[in-house]
A and B are shown apart, each in its own frame.
Chain A
Amino acid sequence: MTTHIILFKVTLIAYFIATALYLVNVVVRHEKSGRFARWALFGGIAVHFVNMSLRYYEVRYTPIADLHGSLSFFALCMIVLFLLFDMRYRLPVMGAFISPLAVVLMIFAGISHKPLLELNPVLDSWWFPVHVTFAFLGNAAFSLAFCAGVMYLLQDKMLKSKRFSGLYYRLPSLATLDSINNSSLTLGFPLMTMGIISGAIWAESVWGTYWSWDPKETWALITWFLYAALLHGRLSIGWRGKRAAIFAIIGFLCLLFTFLGVNLLLTGQHTFDALKG
């Protein structure tokens, strides 16, 4: 237990250092700090992964069953995907957007940490890790699309108003941001779809019904439709640029509500109290 908390704190500190370094990189344009930030993130995900594995061996089930585990897993997926994108696009400025997001998730994860109890028998199925892994990888991809969307709007605004702040010199081109929007969407959408399908199959095996209009399911479907609309718009009507960026932002807000808001404001089967069961 204590090992878990220590490793968790180490991970949080690594992400925090990465955030600080990325901000230094962007604000004072210090190139080296961007490289160090990347190493901090690599270190962070390594510790993070080890921590989750240890946790798995300790409790013998996928440790994403409570709010703490979910938030921390979300952060891990996000950083892993970002680093993959970063290999291709080399975007320290995106790191300055994504790593603070990971830090916030981790802080909430830290606050919501509770001792692990016996697992609810409903969750004791191999569909559980499949379902949440797909869902969170999808979420992570959409969070990248969200960051790219925010960056696109900022850059677009500066190019239109012809008033450049220091950020203008750091932000990548509109084309690059739009292509990140496109690739994270084409990656995230199938993942999310798989997450919903695997969830439905699993629901059928425990509750005997594929779909029960639980608030989380309903909101997930709404989010799915939003992203489906964006993907369709991109592929067939030539949506791109600003509109795609705005859609990615709305989609992500909707997704956050599905993930957190539903649990905090509404009730249903997808509670994080599943462990108490």
Chain B
Amino acid sequence: MNILVVGLSHKSAPVEIREKVAFSPTAMAEPLQQMLALPDISEGVIVSTCNRVELYATSRECDGAISRLKDFLADYHQIARDDLNEHLYDFQGEAAIKHVLRVASSLDSMVIGEPQILGQIKTAYGYAAEYKTAGVILNRFLHKAFSVAKRVRTETSIASSAVSVSFAAVELARKIFSTLDDKTVMLVGAGEMCELAAKHFVNNGVSRVLVTNRTFSKAEKLAAEFSGRAVSFENFQDQLHQVDIVLSSTGAPGYVLHADKLTEVIRLRRNKPMFLIDIAVPRDIDPQGNKLDGIYLYDVDDLQGVVQANLKERQKEAAKAEAIIEEEILQFQQWLSSLEVKPTIVALRRKLEEVRQAELQKTFSNLGELGKKERKSIEAMSSAIINKILHKPTSILKNAHNSSDGNLHIDAIRTLFDLPDPAAAPQNSDTAPDQDK
């Protein structure tokens, strides 16, 4: 049994195509059931987000199944098959396993490490579970993907650094102040980005917000939004020493805050550090301020630079994540092939048990009157013989997934004992592991 992936993502298809093949989350039953009705497809899950649409399936006939899945995707969305095909990728076997694990761990995302994709795959799996289109393999496989994603998240720092400018500002503030709980933010001017950054700061613990603006009413309005206090623009500089973080974005043509003023402020603060974020263009705060001890002044370009550095850091972490994934692929593949072994052993035992029962019947009717004790010991002896004979072959089969000629052994046993082909009786192999639980 093989795992297949057919799909497209932001890497292979433009948004015009992606929006056409997206599945509506309110009507997943139909496509899932249609997909499962295709020949040679035994399980199916559909993942549909704004950046990717992917079909996960299991099949014994990989190549046929893949082209059927591709056709299904085109037909379902009424797109010409040829138009769609150039944007589609497909994977099978190990490559498919790897792809899904990478997607779930957010290594294939537009912004590496973004957390949403895992939730989206969980939702997709939820639909498949609801409409019973995910069987033993995809169940186990997707749970594996979830646990791998979790491992990647906890064992690497892939998602730990900010990749947006406003969140980068919050992180820098944490590197300076440790906690933001008792800190004060002042907004100078009222740019949109400033407001967004201020919201991030408030959400991360900042307790006091001061707002100043040339138009006092605007300051009052914005202050009310953060339940802060408005300060008149004429004397906001006199309040600066109470402020730990300044967010500045006025439309002023020159500097609003000069370095000598900052020298004075830092003295009033008894050298307590100050974090100034100047989002305005042209800049509001004299860049010389950054040279003062305890003043950390960042402009838009600096923040962009931080985001770039963080992205690079995520790339580095991604390499670690890839190693984790390689490890997990190996584990999962071992399980997958053991699944092939199990039905073989079950079938083998069943076959011998049938022979034993038949022979017992014969023996008992030939011997005529027998005591309970005698019957019991004959039964016990016959089953002991079977167990003894089967012991070695069973253990070899169980280890088959660890050796390269594992498939050879399975094949030999199936031929020598004339066991039924599992493909002919898929119910057996699908229900057996469930019965174990």
Q: Which residues of A does B touch, CB under 8 Å? A: 28-29, 31, 155, 159-160, 162, 164, 166, 168-169, 171-176, 237-243
Task: State whether the Cβ of B177 lies closer than 8 Å to any Cβ in chain A.
Answer: yes
Contact A173 B157 (CB under 8 A): no
B272 at the interface (CB under 8 A from A): yes
Chain B 295-308: CB-based contact to A (< 8 A → 1; otherwise 0): 01010001001100
Per a CB cutoff under 8 Å, which of B272, B293, B306 touches A242?
B293
- Which residues from 131 to 188 on chain B have a C-beta closer than 8 Å to any C-beta of chain A? 155-157, 160-161, 172, 174-179
Asked if A160 meets B271 with Cβ closer than 8 Å, knowing A29-B157, A166-B313, the reply is no
Beta-carbon contact of B293 and A159 below 8 Å:
no
Against A, the Cβ 8 Å flags (1 = close, 0 = not) of B278-311 are 0000000000001001101010001001100100
- In the complex with contacts A162-B305, A176-B178, A239-B271, A169-B296 CB distance below 8 A: no
Known contacts A169-B161, A241-B293; 8 further A-B pairs (Cβ under 8 A): A29-B317, A159-B172, A173-B176, A174-B175, A174-B176, A175-B176, A240-B272, A241-B271
Question: Would you give 30 A-B contacts (Cβ < 8 Å), ordered by A?
Answer: A28-B320, A29-B156, A29-B157, A31-B155, A159-B176, A160-B290, A162-B305, A164-B306, A166-B316, A169-B160, A169-B161, A169-B313, A171-B175, A173-B174, A173-B176, A173-B177, A173-B178, A174-B175, A174-B178, A175-B177, A175-B178, A175-B179, A237-B270, A238-B271, A238-B272, A240-B272, A240-B294, A241-B273, A241-B293, A243-B271
- With a 10 A CB-CB cut-off, give which of B155, B161, B178, B320 has the most chain A CB atoms: B178
Contacts A162-B305, A238-B270, A238-B271; is A169 near B157 (CB within 8 Å)?
yes
A162→B296 CA distance, assembly (Å) = 9
Assuming the A-B contacts A169-B161, A174-B176, are A162 and B302 also in contact, with contact meaning beta carbons closer than 8 angstroms in the complex? yes
Which chain A residues border B155 with CB–CB below 8 Å? 31
CB distance from B14 to the nearest CB of A (A): 34
Interface centre among A28, A174, A176, A239 (most CB of B within 10 A): A174
| A169 to B302 alpha-carbon distance, docked (Å) | 17
A237 to B269, CA, bound (A): 11
B298: which A residues are within 8 A, CB to CB? Answer: 162
Residues of chain B within 8 A of A240, CB atoms compared: 270-272, 294
- Which residue of chain B has the shortest Cβ distance to A171 in the bound complex? B175
Pick from A155, A237, A241: contact of B175, CB under 8 Å: A155
> Which B residues lie within 8 Å of A242 (CB)?
293-294
Contacts of A241 in B (CB 8 A): 271, 273, 293-294
Across the A-B interface, give the 4 residue pairs with the lowest CB-CB distance, nearest first.
Answer: A238-B270, A175-B178, A173-B178, A162-B302
Complex: A173 Cα to B305 Cα, angstroms? 19
Residues of chain A within 8 A of B317, CB atoms compared: 29
Smallest Cβ-Cβ distance to A177: which chain B residue: B178
Chain B neighbourhood of A160, CB < 8 A: 290, 296
A134 to B271, CA, bound (A): 32
Measured between alpha carbons, how far is A240 from B176 in the docked complex, in Å? 13
- What distance in Å separates the Cβ of A152 from its nearest Cβ neighbour in chain B? 11
Given the complex, which residues of B lie within 8 Å of A162, measured CB to CB?
298, 302, 305-306
A155 to B174: give the CA distance in the assembly, Å. Answer: 12
Chain A residue nearest to B176 in the complex (CB) = A174
Residue of B nearest to A29 (CB): B157
Residue of B nearest to A32 (CB): B155
Residue count of chain B within 8 Å CB distance of chain A: 29
In angstroms, Cα B290 to Cα A239, docked, is: 19
Interface centre among A159, A162, A172, A243 (most CB of B within 10 A): A162
In the bound complex, CA of A173 to CA of B178 (Å): 5
Bound Cα distance A242, B294 (Å): 8
Residues on A with beta carbons closer than 8 Å to the beta carbon of B178: 172-176
Instruction: State whether A164 and B271 are in contact (beta carbons under 8 Å apart), knowing that A159-B172, A174-B175, A176-B178 are contacts in the complex.
Output: no
Closest chain B CB from A31 CB (angstroms): 7
Question: Which residues of B lie under 8 Å from residue A168 when comparing CB positions?
Answer: 175
In the bound assembly, the distance between CA atoms of A112 and B170 in angstroms comes to 51
* Chain B, 248-275, CB within 8 A of any chain A CB: 270-273
Please name all residues of chain A whose beta carbon is closer than 8 Å to the beta carbon of B293 when the two chains form the complex. 241-243
A148, chain B: closest CB distance, angstroms: 13
- In the bound complex, residues from chain B placing their C-beta under 8 Å from that of A164 are 306, 309
A185: shortest Cβ distance to chain B, in Å?
16
Alpha-carbon distance between A166 and B309 when the two chains are bound, in angstroms: 10
Least Cβ–Cβ distance between B70 and chain A, in angstroms: 41
Q: Name the B residues within 8 Å of A159 (CB-CB).
A: 172, 175-176, 296
Residue of A with least CB distance to B298: A162
Residues in A neighbouring B177, C-beta threshold 8 A: 173-175
Residues in chain A near residue B294, CB distance under 8 A = 240-242
Query: How far, in whole Å, are A164 and B306 apart by their CA atoms in the complex?
Result: 8
Chain B neighbourhood of A171, CB < 8 A:
175
Binary contact track B318-356/A, C-beta < 8 Å → 1, others 0: 001000000000000000000000000000000000000
Q: With the chains together, A171 CA to B172 CA distance in Å? A: 12
Closest to B292 in A: A160
Give complex CA distance A173, B172 in Å.
9
CA distance A188 to B320 in the complex (A): 41
- Of all chain A residues, the one with the shortest Cβ separation from B154 is A31
Q: Which residue of chain A has the shortest Cβ distance to B293 in the bound complex? A: A242
Q: Which residues of A contact B309 (CB under 8 A)?
A: 164
CB-nearest residue of chain A to B268:
A238
A174 to B274, CA, bound (A): 11
> How far is B293's CA from A159's CA once the two chains are assembled, in angstroms?
12
Give Cα distance in the complex from A262 to B174, angstroms.
Answer: 43
In the complex, which residues of chain B have a beta carbon less than 8 angstroms from the beta carbon of A173? Answer: 174-178
Q: Chain B residues near A29: list those with CB within 8 A.
A: 156-157, 317
The distance from the CB of B315 to the nearest CB of chain A, in whole angstroms, is 12
Rounded to whole angstroms, the CA-CA distance of A29 and B314 in the bound complex is: 12
Among residues of A, the one whose C-beta sits closest to the C-beta of B301 is: A162
Give 1 or 0 for each of B204-243: 1 = CB within 8 Å of chain A CB. 0000000000000000000000000000000000000000
For A238, the chain B residues whose CB sits under 8 A away are 270-272
Report the separation of the CA atoms of residues A166 and B302 in the bound assembly, to the nearest whole angstrom.
Answer: 17
Measured between alpha carbons, how far is A160 from B156 in the docked complex, in Å?
27
> What is the chain A residue whose CB lies nearest that of B296?
A159
Q: Give the complex CA separation of A238 and B172 in angstroms.
A: 23
Contacting residues, chain B, for A239 (C-beta < 8 A): 271
Complex: A123 Cα to B216 Cα, angstroms: 76
B-side contacts of A176, CB under 8 Å: 178
CA distance A159 to B302 in the complex (A): 10
Cα(A242)–Cα(B272), bound, Å: 11
